Amino acid sequence: MMAASAFDLETDVPSVAGGGARLTLVHGSTFCVSEATGDLDPTLPEGLFHQDRRVLSSLRLLLDGLPLEPLVAHALDPFAGVFVGRGRSLPGHADSGLVVRRDRWIGDGLREDITVTNYRDVRAAGLLTVRLGADFADLFDIKTGAPPPTGSAVTVEDGQVLLVSADGRRATGVRLHGFAPPTGPEVQVVLDLPPGGRWAGCVEVSLVTRGRPIRLLFPCGTPVAAGRPASELFEWRRRAAVVRSEPPAMERVVWRSREDLGALRMHDALHPGETTIAAGAPWYMTLFGRDSLLTSWSALLVDPTLATGTLRALARMQGTRVVPATEEQPGRILHEVRHGEQGPEVYYGTVDATPLFVMLLGEVARWGQSPSDVDDLLPHADRALEWMTTWGDPDGDGFLEHERMTPDGLRNQGWKDSWDGVRDAAGRLATGPVALAEVQGYAYAAYLARTHLAVAAGDAGTAATWRARAARLRDAFDAAFWLPDRGWYAMGLDGDGRPLDALTSSVGHCLWTGIARPDRAAALAERLLRPDVFSGWGLRTLATSMAGFNPVSYHNGSVWPHDTALVAAGLMRYGHVDASLRLVAALLDAAAAFSERLPELYGGLDRSELPVPLTYPASCSPQAWAAAAPLLLLRTVLRLDPAVPAGRVHVDPVLPPGTRSLHVEGIPLGGARVDITVEGGEVDVRGLPPDVVLDRRPRHPLTALLDQ
């Protein structure tokens, strides 16, 4: 975990003092993971990555043959960082006095400005060496520790070091300004600096992928502020809602969330103006169905265009045929996109992305986004619904189920998609086809979303059809999934219809979607807040009382911030305010322990056992839906529920204990910018769109089957 300096809303970003940790810089599908010195070590999971390949595995800076002593590493922006180190002194010798600064920018390649300053009062000499290498290893081979490929070639062409993959399809060119002409992968410059003297050079790393040169966004010698990443981030910051709170806990974590989501956005050159979101760094810098949809939902509060961009990107790749190898089916929404040697590779093995797609389109409409966007995407929503009621329900029992179509596919295709993530209380793993509890909730909410879209369009017949289907599912779900002797919903039903009776956090999603009966919601509110599920830092994915609990497993006892945030939103929706606010406070405390950046997941040890959350080693950070979780918490405490097509918006804030005031400025809603201030028990809402009235009552889930 990175140590943080004192928080400053204008300048605070992750930093590493004295070395020992890694710093990640990211822009789009390019990211760089480095040592605190700035070096990239090919023996470690570090490097410069582009489209799932390590395109630079070694970038080492040596002074007189020795690595630098790290002093500080600091992310100035999501795509920009600075590393400062000094030359190491040999035993019996005076301090070298040479301080090295490395300013690095990431953007479809890498640029690094290097300056060496002599702070001694006598002349200082030294040999500065840059060592380069590229193994073009696959991202997941690096993650799993597989040996990197061999056989990449090194040549020098036109003063540039050219590193070429064994198959010749990828190349990394490195041009070094201020150094001696290169003859191989090791480039040097002799330093001879007077007192106070300074040397400056620049390293420029450009890429060729599948024979196509990629234009570096930060070439040496050009103003950094004029680069596209800088202008995109400036525009994101300008548009995004601003939060102030007293005390500033919510303010700080929301600021961090905005910055991280800004870093994880992806821009498609073929579709200008559209923005999607990558799932997380370092392992998932690509479009995911479930992750990107849930992230976009949570981020509506700051930028609804992220949702429309994500919906459009997923619609373009919506399934059209049956392909068992990729699990594509007509109408199905993808699980993830990867970048193979032949181009993008799409895998469709997810059961929840398809209903989440319809849910998000309905929510975008409720927020008053462009009707033309909704109209364009509506046919894709109808194809998604057709998949849900045919391919997704092969036995016709009304429940959405999954079973992999290929041995290479995911065994579990809900959000807990690790191989052992779906089980019963005794620890027996599920056999398919499996109907997951939270997925039935997503399906219910998708049917209601289509109902509301039909009502807004004046299509009473379609509205009645989907409203009736939602009501049938709600009744059938309660009958099949509720465990009266346990007091919670089954995690799922296995292929024989047997309830998977493990107690998991996922059943709390049924509160978020509104499929739970109110009396079940009350029972869940009490049960999920017991110590075997609630760790004090969030909800465990599997209760400590269940077989197979492991606080440092991926899905069997860890805490996922997005998961807890969804349950908090659901508890608030059913009026269980105190229980919801306990979860909100827990996540805010966890965020403070992680320097305001919630990771993908953390360990499930109890807060009474350990005074800080337990780090999970392979957790992505920043990670999209973890970064978006505080935004969902903010919406939860505001009790903000727009219904712009119906001409109203529900706002009825309840602040977490200890929070004295909250001001949110610039919430994008129906083409307007709305400000909400909560202070001293008073609520002030300004800037609502014309013809939209304020409703100070929270919208209850029981009204969802009836209203717009």
pLDDT in tens, 79-134: 999 999 999 875 555 567 899 999 999 999 999 999 999 999 999 999 999 999 99
Shared domain for 132 and 268, answered yes or no, is: no
Helices 624-638 and 577-593 cross at an angle (nearest 10°) of 140
Shared domain for 203 and 266, answered yes or no, is: no
Residue 277 lies in a domain: yes
Calpha distance 605→593 (Å, rounded)? 14
Listed in order, strand segments (DSSP E) in 619-704 are 641-643, 648-650, 661-669, 672-679, 682-686, 693-695
Shared domain for 194 and 295, answered yes or no, is: no
Q: What does the pLDDT look like over 640-687, one tens digit per residue?
A: 999 999 999 999 999 998 999 999 999 999 999 999 999 988 999 999
pLDDT reading at 17 higher than 70: no
Q: What's the number of domains the chain is made of?
A: 2
Shared domain for 328 and 182, answered yes or no, is: no
Q: What does the pLDDT look like over 500-519, one tens digit per residue?
A: 999 999 999 999 999 999 99
**What pLDDT was estimated at residue 707?**
53
Residue 419 lies in a domain: yes
Are 573 and 525 spatial neighbours (Cβ–Cβ below 8 Å)?
no
Shared domain for 220 and 255, answered yes or no, is: no
Residue 3 lies in a domain: no
The mean pLDDT value for 49-70 works out to 94
Are 447 and 477 spatial neighbours (Cβ–Cβ below 8 Å)?
no
pLDDT reading at 472 higher than 70: yes
Distances (CA, A) of 663 to 244, 246, 685: 5, 9, 10
pLDDT reading at 19 higher than 60: no
The single-letter code of the amino acid at 317 is M
**What pLDDT was estimated at residue 210?**
75
**What pLDDT was estimated at residue 477?**
98
Shared domain for 174 and 121, answered yes or no, is: yes
Q: CA torsion angle for 276, 280, 281, 282 (degrees, to 10)?
A: -110
Shared domain for 171 and 305, answered yes or no, is: no
Residue 375 lies in a domain: yes
Residue 295 lies in a domain: yes
Shared domain for 210 and 265, answered yes or no, is: no
**What pLDDT was estimated at residue 7?**
24
**What pLDDT was estimated at residue 233?**
84
Shared domain for 174 and 321, answered yes or no, is: no
Calpha distance 33→46 (Å, rounded)? 5
Shared domain for 95 and 191, answered yes or no, is: yes
Domain-terminating residue out of 180, 196, 224:
224
Q: What does the pLDDT look like over 287-310, one tens digit per residue?
A: 999 999 999 999 999 999 999 999
Helices 518-528 and 561-573 cross at an angle (nearest 10°) of 140
Q: What is the CATH classification number for the domain harbouring 149?
A: 2.70.98.40
Calpha distance 652→640 (Å, rounded)? 7
**What pLDDT was estimated at residue 240?**
86
Shared domain for 218 and 252, answered yes or no, is: no
* First-residue to last-residue Cα distance in the chain: 45
The mean pLDDT value for 335-340 works out to 86
Residue 704 lies in a domain: no
The mean pLDDT value for 572-586 works out to 97
Residues 6+ apart with CB under 8 A from 289: 314, 333, 334, 335, 336, 350, 353, 354, 356, 357
Q: What is the CATH classification number for the domain harbouring 529?
A: 1.50.10.10
Are 288 and 600 spatial neighbours (Cβ–Cβ below 8 Å)?
no
Q: What does the pLDDT look like over 540-549, one tens digit per residue?
A: 999 999 999 9
The mean pLDDT value for 33-43 works out to 93
What is the extent of the structural domain holding 329? 240-669
The single-letter code of the amino acid at 525 is A
Residue 298 lies in a domain: yes
Residue 234 lies in a domain: no
Domain-terminating residue out of 184, 199, 224:
224
Predicted TM-score (pTM) of this structure: 0.90
Which among 535, 511, 509 has a CA at the least distance from the CA of 436?
509
Other CB atoms closer than 10 Å to residue 324's CB: what's the count?
Answer: 11
The residue among 478 and 237 whose pLDDT is bigger is 478
Length of the chain: 708
Shared domain for 151 and 263, answered yes or no, is: no
**What pLDDT was estimated at residue 10?**
30
